[in-house]
Amino acid sequence: MHEGLKPRKSRGTLGSPFTTVLRFMQLLLKSVDFAARAHRDQRRKGAAQEPYINHPIEVSRLIVECEPHTGEDILCAAVLHDVIEDCGATRDEIAACFNDIIADIVLEVSDDKALPRDERKAKQIETAPNLTSGAKLVRLADKVANVGAMLTDTPVGWDERQILTYVDWAEAVIAPCREVSDNLSDRFDAIARDVRIFHQNELKEAGK
């Protein structure tokens, strides 16, 4: 396991295993509550119009499935990863509600919405090698979830070429992040392969 992904020791005096698990659950549920309220008026871009909160929960779940020993701060940051970028929350607000580690990871993976879209996308590729281990894990899981949506709930109005371009871009973003999780990297590769096969076939059918 990558050094940055090892479980952190509980703060203060260690209690019983039950107390430690309970504290972990409290922090994780607090992050879900915070994110659900922040994203309450948002929907995903697909035809199903899923509540947006489904996405950050999926990102955290993917990390648990692929790296089950990940520390609580990274899992909470995964749940909160879009609240600065999409909801106007601040780094200091997250630090006050949770802690500096969680706040810093969320800030690392947040785009600056003041920049044009193409510049934001370029910056994700540019900054990926310098992310901390926790932020790389969140970024990797986020792209697994988003590429997976290209099969299950494609954004309304996207054609096959846009989808395939997105997969290529996501692959470039996560390239430096693969070092933190072989399992998530394998998950990404499998999903990206399926998306490419499906939408390349759709292009071929459309060209007939």
Active-site annotation holds for 168: no
41, 58, 82, 86: the catalytic one is 86
Instruction: Give the span between the Cα atoms of 98 and 111, in whole angstroms.
Output: 21
Active-site annotation holds for 118: no
Whether 55 and 49 have beta carbons less than 8 Å apart is answered as no
Task: Write a three-state SS string for 20-79.
Answer: HHHHHHHHHHHHHHHHHHHCCCCECCECCCCECCHHHHHHHHHHHHHCCCCCHHHHHHHH
User: Using CA of residue 179, residue 80, residue 67, residue 26, what is the dihedral sign?
Assistant: positive
Instruction: Give the span between the Cα atoms of 28 and 101, in whole angstroms.
Output: 14
85, 104, 153, 194: the catalytic one is 85
Residues assigned a catalytic role? 85-86
